A = this chain, B = another copy of it.
Amino acid sequence: MAEVMFKRVALIGIGLIGSSLARRMKRDGLAGHIAVNARSQASLDTSMKLGFADSVSLDPCEVVKDADLVVVCSPVGTYAAIGETIKGALKKGAILSDVGSVKEAVVRDLGASLPDGVHLVPAHPVAGTEFSGPEAGFPELFEQRWCILTPPTGTDAAATAKMRSLWEQCGSNVEVMEAHHHDQVMAMTSHLPHLISFTIVGTATDLEQSLQNEVIKFSAGGFRDFTRIAASDPTMWRDIFLNNKEAVLEILQRFTEDLTALQRSIRRGEGDVLFDKFTRSRAIRRGVIDAKQA
């Protein structure tokens, strides 16, 4: 059993990530008391039944009261309203964090009119599965995965250090970076891949019915990998695209240009160009394997 890091932790939202964090903290004794808030009573009941919550409430203010750490674990589109609701109830000295996949919008939405003495340390655990909801979580989700912290300039160093320690105890490798830079990196590594996957699965959905059944039947040729990515939570992804619009549209523009060039090479029958491009992409895979991310 590790040392108790926070006497009272409040989680706002309890899906895949929130419940995994709760399970990990509960399993390793990192929190003295875990209070959970969600929008549905069903999620609260599940949290109590599964044993990772010590108390639950539909009222976010009740949950964050006296908490040393508040982690917002709901879709990023809900942050502005949550920030507005809880700011008066936050304890002086508390750390306010989150687990969202975009970070500039988080600093904007949670950081707005934050009371003095509350430390904002946004976090993004780069981990997940295609499943959602409090039942889908498990305590090992963050092991060997990255967790990126994006404290705004001037954030209390001790608060950042404490969040680093929490995520390291959850098994993650922690990296600190600037929120804007985080959003650019994620636009390429995560947001564009998801956007493409949602699109290609959508394209398949619009095929004539006879072809559509066979697409599922013969999906092992590559398509099924896209369906897994495209099965991720719709609310969460809607909010990511709306809250990282600029970086996503910029990288999407580059991708579209590259796709148009490849399309032209196929149409013109430029075998050498295709061969060169495909050969280069093997090198990137090698980089991913060497970085032990595959």
Q: Which residues of B contact A198 (CB under 8 A)?
A: 262, 277-278, 281
A139 within 8 A of partner (CB): no
Number of chain copies forming the complex: 2
Known: A126-B218, A225-B229, A271-B238. A196 touches B200 (CB 8 A): yes
Q: Which residues of B contact A215 (CB under 8 A)?
A: 185, 188-189
User: Do B146 and A227 touch (CB < 8 A)?
Assistant: no
- A interface size (C-beta, 8 A): 90
Q: How far is the CB of A16 from chain B (nearest CB, A)?
A: 14
Q: How far is the CB of A126 from chain B (nearest CB, A)?
A: 5
A5 within 8 A of partner (CB): no
User: Do A204 and B188 touch (CB < 8 A)?
Assistant: yes
Q: Give A218's nearest chain B residue, CB to CB.
A: B189
Q: Give A284's nearest chain B residue, CB to CB.
A: B201
Residue of B186, B194, B249 touching A267 (CB-CB under 8 A) = B249
Q: Which of A34-69 contact B (CB under 8 A)?
A: none
User: Do A282 and B222 touch (CB < 8 A)?
Assistant: no
A residues adjacent to B (C-beta < 8 A):
77, 101, 126-127, 130, 145-146, 148, 184-186, 188-190, 192-207, 211, 214-232, 234-235, 237-239, 241-242, 245, 248-249, 251-252, 254-256, 258-259, 262-263, 266-267, 269, 271, 274-275, 277-288, 291, 293-294
A-B contact pairs, 17 of them (CB 8 A): A126-B218, A145-B220, A146-B220, A189-B219, A189-B220, A190-B218, A190-B223, A192-B200, A193-B221, A193-B226, A194-B222, A195-B259, A203-B258, A205-B283, A227-B284, A230-B281, A234-B274
